[in-house]
């Protein structure tokens, strides 16, 4: 097994929190707050093409705008781009994240197969996938519908 790669000046354990972050809301805050208990948060920000590939819609805010928001979030140590869902796998193998934290909505739908692969892969170095209960009645999709975006 290859050696764990490190981000400079960021202490382990590493916690990958993948997000689209189209509209920052209290559901994101809940996940980030719970994630911070496990270690240093590395926010995996899904690129515009990545969002389009599984949501079948472009994000309302482009990657650059979403990244500006992400780097200002308290507790986020680093923001890395995730161009496609299968990059969860390659990034996880490269950095050997100690934890991958996501809302439990990914147990079903287009991300579910990647979740299953990540569970299997992270076991190789005692990493763990953690599903946080999805915050009810809030999502970027709900916000978009409310404002006809």
| pLDDT attached to residue 6 | 79
Are 44 and 88 within 8 A, CB to CB?
yes
**What is the arithmetic mean of pLDDT over 11-27?**
91
Q: How many angstroms separate the CA atoms of 130 and 132, rounded? A: 6
Higher pLDDT, 132 or 8: 132
| pLDDT attached to residue 1 | 58
Question: What are the backbone angles phi and psi of residue 40, rounded to the nearest 5°?
Answer: -80, 125
Domain range annotation of the chain: 14-146
Higher pLDDT, 2 or 101: 101
Residue that is written with structure tokens 């287009």 in the block: 110
Query: Confidence class of residue 25 from pLDDT cuts 50, 70 and 90?
Result: confident
28-57, pLDDT tens digit by residue? 889 999 999 999 999 999 999 999 988 888
**What is the arithmetic mean of pLDDT over 109-128?**
94
- Estimate the share of the chain in helix, then strand, then coil, as percent rounded to the nearest 5: 40, 20, 40
- For helices 87-95 and 112-122, give the axis angle rounded to 10 degrees: 20
| pLDDT attached to residue 139 | 66
CATH level 2 (architecture), domain 14-146: 3-Layer(aba) Sandwich (3.40)
Contacts 24+ apart (CB under 8 A), 50-53: 50/82, 50/83, 50/84, 50/85, 50/87, 51/20, 51/22, 53/84, 53/85
Query: How many alpha carbons fall within 13 Å on the CB side of residue 88?
Result: 28
Which tokens in the block code for residue 23? 């509209």
69-99, pLDDT tens digit by residue? 999 999 999 999 999 888 889 999 999 999 9
């Amino acid at each position: 097994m290859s050696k764990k790669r490190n981000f400079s000046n960021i202490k382990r354990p590493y916690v990958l929190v993948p997000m689209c972050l189209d509209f920052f809301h209290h559901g994101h805050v809940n996940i980030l707050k719970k994630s911070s208990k496990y270690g240093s948060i590395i926010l995996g920000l899904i690129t515009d093409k990545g969002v389009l590939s599984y949501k079948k819609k472009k994000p309302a805010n482009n990657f650059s705008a979403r990244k500006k928001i992400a780097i200002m979030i308290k507790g986020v140590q680093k923001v890395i781009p995730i161009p496609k869902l299968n990059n969860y796998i390659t990034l996880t193998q490269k950095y050997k994240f100690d934890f991958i934290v996501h809302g439990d909505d990914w147990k079903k739908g287009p991300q579910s197969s990647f979740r299953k692969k990540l569970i299997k892969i992270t076991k190789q170095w005692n990493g763990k996938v953690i599903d946080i209960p999805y915050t009810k009645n809030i999502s970027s999709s709900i916000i978009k519908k409310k404002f006809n975006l």
